[in-house]
Amino acid sequence: MAHQNASGTASSLTRPGQSNSTGDARALYLKLFSGEMFKGFQNNAIARDLVMKRTLKNGKSLQFIYTGHTTAEFHTPGKPILGNSDGAPPVAEKTITCDDLLISSAFVYELDETLAHYELRGEISKKIGYALAQKYDRLIFRSIAKGARIASPITKANFIEPGGTQIQVGAGSDADDALNAGKLVTAFYDAAAALDEKGVSTDGRVGILNPRQYYALIQEVGENGLVNRDEQGTSRQKGNGVVEIAGIKIYKSMNAPFFSKYGTKYAPSSSPTAGTDPATLDPGNTGSFVAEATEDARASVTGLNNNYGNATSFANTCGLIFQKEAAGVVEAIGPQVQVTSGDVSVVYQGDVILGRLAMGADFLNPAACVELFAGTTTKPAKFGDTYPGNTATS
């Protein structure tokens, strides 16, 4: 029988939640699983469907052909017609090589899987898929920026085709212009006009901005010249291309280069450095996967056979506008997940979940590529392939 002590509390109270009657009174109680997993940093891959995609089989690269303009002339009676005397149209080629196999994997120990009260493999497979999709988008966006900085590969005298376009957002060296809705809209209209002038189709034109730029635009959707002014609510705010400027569908992505970072660059202090740091304060607790720096992805880097630029190539890039012909992707192995089984599983008492992808990307039609830049009056320098219209190799 329990007795009360001098303070009025029970002196022999049984606490079934304690371990060996000591410590936390709730230590042994079951921790129920909520049925939800916090997904962490996730982004939908969008670039794959916005450019030219081809499947690569029985070869290491895929050839694309450029055909330039030709001329019209009046026929002289009695003169045989054997083709234009200038030999037009000129032709050039573009070759996109497949990079090495891109993988993401995890080992799942069978005992851990047995003891876990939530489904492990599905979540791990999703995270692997996200990692591959993120890399996929980043390489394509870098290729479009590359194309925006160069002349056309067709360089025949009097038949030079239009090349890429670089448009400054705002004026001067204020990086904050990249987040100014009015100046972004002006840049979009300038880009649309440039694409029209260079003979680029209006079909499939898109723009890629980072989330803060996109939200700056839709906050003023009724005043700043956006076409889809009737779009309201969540459809407009999701950033899935329902808002347009000058016929250019706008998407938001954390995988587009933005002032040497992917997606977002936060100011290091309340007084950001002019030209490099837009006044975007760090919200805190961003972890390791937000505002990642653009890495060195030149062809000299192990695993890469295409030149996607150096880490410093995108110091002032703040958006992309392009048409479907701007870039091409060749896939030797499409995104897929493999899981070990059989003897391998027996030997290691677990399975490896592997995501893999073999692809390569590069610009196709430079005229269809537009790069937005801010924080400087100097256009970002070209990089990559060497040919008559482009001599930079960094």
Helices and strands, number each (H, E), in the chain: 6, 14
CATH class belonging to 47-373:
alpha beta
Residue 258 CA to residue 11 CA, distance in Å, equals: 66
CA 226 to chain centre: 23
Q: What is the mean pLDDT of residues 232-241?
A: 56
> Residue for token digits 């001098």?
6
Q: Say if residues 363 and 369 touch (Cβ distance below 8 Å).
A: yes
Q: What is the mean pLDDT of residues 49-72?
A: 86
Of residues 89 and 42, more confidence is placed in 89
* Beta-bridge partners for 333: 358
If we measure between CA atoms, which residue out of 147, 129, 149, 128 comes closest to residue 139?
Answer: 147
Using DSSP bridges, classify how beta strands 327-339 and 52-55 pair: parallel, antiparallel or unpaired: parallel
Phi, psi of 147, deg, nearest 5:
-65, -30
If we measure between CA atoms, which residue out of 176, 209, 187 comes closest to residue 277?
Answer: 176
- Coil, helix or strand for 243? strand
Instruction: Please report the pLDDT score of residue 319 as a whole number.
Output: 97
Percent residues over pLDDT 70 in the chain:
82
DSSP 8-state symbol, 237 = H
- Coil, helix or strand for 211? helix
Of residues 118 and 125, more confidence is placed in 125
Instruction: Please report the pLDDT score of residue 40 as a whole number.
Output: 57
- Coil, helix or strand for 107? strand
Q: Say if residues 254 and 261 touch (Cβ distance below 8 Å).
A: no
Residue 83 has pLDDT above 90, yes or no: no
Q: What is the pLDDT of residues 127-179, one digit of tens each?
A: 888 888 899 999 999 999 999 999 988 888 888 889 999 999 999 889 999 99
For the four alpha carbons of 346, 347, 350 and 354, in that order, the dihedral sign comes to negative
Between 18-27, 52-61, 204-213, 301-310, the lowest mean confidence (pLDDT) is in: 18-27
Q: What is the mean pLDDT of residues 23-30?
A: 74
> Residue for token digits 């599905």?
122
Instruction: Please report the pLDDT score of residue 176 as a whole number.
Output: 92
Q: What is the mean pLDDT of the chain?
A: 84
Residue 21 has pLDDT above 60, yes or no: yes
For the four alpha carbons of 149, 154, 159 and 162, in that order, the dihedral sign comes to negative
Residue 16 has pLDDT above 80, yes or no: no
Residue 13 CA to residue 16 CA, distance in Å, equals: 10
Between 81-95, 302-316, 327-341, the lowest mean confidence (pLDDT) is in: 81-95
Q: pLDDT confidence of 322, banded at 50, 70, 90?
A: very high
If we measure between CA atoms, which residue out of 318, 274, 272, 321 comes closest to residue 294?
Answer: 318
| Length of the chain (residues) | 394
Q: pLDDT confidence of 235, banded at 50, 70, 90?
A: low
If we measure between CA atoms, which residue out of 187, 134, 143, 162 comes closest to residue 51?
Answer: 143
Q: Say if residues 308 and 360 touch (Cβ distance below 8 Å).
A: no
pTM of the model: 0.86
- Coil, helix or strand for 327? strand
Residue 390 CA to residue 117 CA, distance in Å, equals: 57
Q: pLDDT confidence of 236, banded at 50, 70, 90?
A: low
> 285: which residues sit within 8 A by CB, 6+ positions away?
none
Distance from first CA to last CA of the chain, Å, rounded?
85
Q: What is the mean pLDDT of residues 69-76?
A: 84
Q: pLDDT confidence of 298, banded at 50, 70, 90?
A: very high
> 256: which residues sit within 8 A by CB, 6+ positions away?
137, 141, 208, 209, 210, 262, 263, 319, 320
CA 138 to chain centre: 4
User: Residue 172 carries which side chain, given as an amino acid letter?
Assistant: G
Kindly list the domain boundaries of the chain, sorted by start residue: 47-373
